[in-house]
Amino acid sequence: MKPKILLVNPPVYDFTAHDFWLKPYGLLEVAGFLRGRAEMKLFDYLDRTRMPATREKDKWGRGKYISEEIPKPPCLQEIRRRYQRFGLKREMFQKFITGNGPFDFVLIQTVMTYWYPGLKEVIEDIRHILPGAKIILGGIYATLCYTHATSLGADLIIRGTELSPLWQMLSIEPDIRQPAFWQGYWDLQTGTIRLSDGCPFSCSYCSVQSIYPAFTPRAQERCTHELDLMKSKNVQNIAFYDDALLHNPDICLMPFLQYVLSKQYKFNFHTPNALNARLITPELAGLMIKAGVKTFYLGFESMSEEWQKNTGNKVLNDDIIAAVNNLIKAGADTSNIFAYIIAGHPDHNIQKVRESMNFVHNLGINIMLSEYSPVPGTKDSTKCQNLTSIDEPLMHNKTAFTIRSLGESEVQQLKLLCKELNGRK
């Protein structure tokens, strides 16, 4: 008999959360490997198609989650923002597992390290309603905060991408050629995809190297199979989850986009994980636009050469100027080009945040302020210990850390400047 497995994407406890093409992709991929070998049900607390009150979406399929204000944890008391629980109601999950159980195994993942209270909530309900189920945790929190995760009461914690302990516990031989388990959703409007794992750079603020030790392209057949599956489910918007989407384009992105063109697929593709501007050649820009890439998020962070050098030189000012020119010449709409700038980084004194914002504005594109989170295991997180305790994942919260780093008034002023400059375009 096939084992019965429940897949759970937990609710989010945070000051802010928005559906920016967010899907529990790692969990869906693991479930994909189990296709035909287990009986599976998915409960995604962040599935907006099940949230009538916030079902409205923007033209690229993004939107708000339903939420309720909840008490702040003691370590975030001084942050003058509403702390909320985002996602479907707890009672819906309790009813779902009561009606669909029992399950032999429960697989849970979460992304941000400081979202672990959502995991705790799910584990409590499972232990209460499904006492016989084995609970397995995976994802970024479980990988980067392994010791902390052991306190939550799971039966197994998966670190990084080493999945053999999982297959052993399930007693299943996985089929790793299978695409992600998109059939878990009744109604799927946005999807995600990865053509590669890892990144050849090692920026001092980024955790990618702790999760994927090397850049590895994925098998094209599996990626195109996954695209066909999303097409059959009428998905309109797809976000690339690659960390280095433009690296080795001859074997990753270009053949994939050529496949899209050959099948005459009409998807809107998006790049929320940031593109490396240095790699946007005229040829690649042209192909991306022709195949349906609609939004371009460029990883920039700062125009300060000193800051760029200290953090790994992933991109220089000339790179971003050339990239924007190439995208515009290829026909990209400037209202859909964005450059990320970090706010609250521990070296903000040399980062020239305001000048960086003006630099981006003068290129005729949009600024995306991204609040810094001190990710454990990164070089830059060791510079944050005077402001926060890295051992407590709630203290990695990006809203809280940025306020602690810059002060409330400076954060407000930067947000206002961003709004003003983007509004002036």
Q: Which stretches of the chain bind ligand SF4, using CB under 6 A?
A: 199, 201-203, 206, 208, 243-244, 274, 276, 299, 314
User: Edge-to-edge strand order for the sheet containing 12-14?
Assistant: 12-14, 84-86, 67-69
CB of 87 to ligand SF4, least distance (A): 27
Beta strands in 280-403, from DSSP E residues, in sequence order = 296-299, 337-343, 366-371
Neighbours of 191 (CB within 10 A): 25
Per-residue buried b or exposed e for 251-290, using 16+ beta carbons within 10 Å of the residue's own CB: ebbbebbebbeeeebebbbbbbbbbbbbbbeeebbbbbbe
CB of 240 to ligand SF4, least distance (A): 12
Give the nearer residue to ligand SF4 in terms of CB position, either 73 or 160. Answer: 160
Give the nearer residue to ligand SF4 in terms of CB position, either 191 or 299. Answer: 299
Give the nearer residue to ligand SF4 in terms of CB position, either 4 or 379. Answer: 379
CB of 340 to ligand SF4, least distance (A): 9
CB of 30 to ligand SF4, least distance (A): 22
Closest-CA residue to 194 (of 205, 208, 206): 208
Whether residue 62 contacts residue 19, with contact meaning beta carbons closer than 8 Å, is answered with yes
Whether residue 279 contacts residue 327, with contact meaning beta carbons closer than 8 Å, is answered with no
Give the nearer residue to ligand SF4 in terms of CB position, either 93 or 300. Answer: 300
Give the nearer residue to ligand SF4 in terms of CB position, either 75 or 111. Answer: 111
> What whole-number distance in Å separates Cα of residue 413 and Cα of residue 355?
14
Give the nearer residue to ligand SF4 in terms of CB position, either 61 or 374. Answer: 374
CB of 139 to ligand SF4, least distance (A): 17
CB of 314 to ligand SF4, least distance (A): 4
> What whole-number distance in Å separates Cα of residue 179 and Cα of residue 194?
11
Whether residue 230 contacts residue 192, with contact meaning beta carbons closer than 8 Å, is answered with no
Whether residue 231 contacts residue 185, with contact meaning beta carbons closer than 8 Å, is answered with no
